[in-house]
Amino acid sequence: MKSLNKLQIMETKELTNIYSALYQDNKNQLLSPSQGFIGQLREDAIQLFLKNGFPGKKDENYKYTYLEPFFSNGYKKYLSPKSITFNTNHIFQCDVPSLDTHVVILLNGFYFDKVNPIRKLPNNIMVGSLSEAILRYPEIVSKHLGKYSRGTDSFVAINTALATDGVFFYVPKGSVLDKPIQIINVLLSDEELMVQHRNLFVIEENSEAKVVVCDHTLSPHKFLTNSVTEIHVGDNANFDYFRVQNEHNDSTQVSHTFINQKSASSVQSSVITLHGGLVRNNLHVKLDGEGCENRAYGLFVTDSHQHVDNFVFVEHAKPNCNSSQLYKGILDDKSTGAFTGRILVDRDAQKTKAYQKNSSILLTDEVKMNSKPQLEIYADDVKCGHGGTVGQLDEEAMFYLRTRGIGEREAKLMLMYAFANEILGEIKIEPLKDRMNELIDKRLRGELSRCNNCAMNCG
How confident is the model over 432-449, as pLDDT tens digits? 999 899 999 989 988 766
Per-residue pLDDT tens digits for 396-433: 887 878 888 888 888 888 999 999 999 999 999 998 99
Decide: 130 and 168 in contact? Cβ < 8 Å. Answer: yes
Decide: 239 and 209 in contact? Cβ < 8 Å. Answer: yes
**DSSP character at residue 69:** H
pTM of the model: 0.94
A 10 A CB-CB count for 314 gives 23
Alpha-carbon distance of 283 to 364, in angstroms, equals 29
Decide: 93 and 458 in contact? Cβ < 8 Å. Answer: no
Lowest-pLDDT range of 71-75, 101-105, 242-246, 342-346:
71-75
Q: What is the mean pLDDT of the chain?
A: 90
In this prediction, residue 98 carries a pLDDT of 60
In this prediction, residue 75 carries a pLDDT of 92
Q: In a 3-state reduction of DSSP, which class is residue 355?
A: strand
- 455, pLDDT greater than 50: no
398, burial (CB in 10 Å: exposed 0-12, middle 13-18, buried 19+) = middle
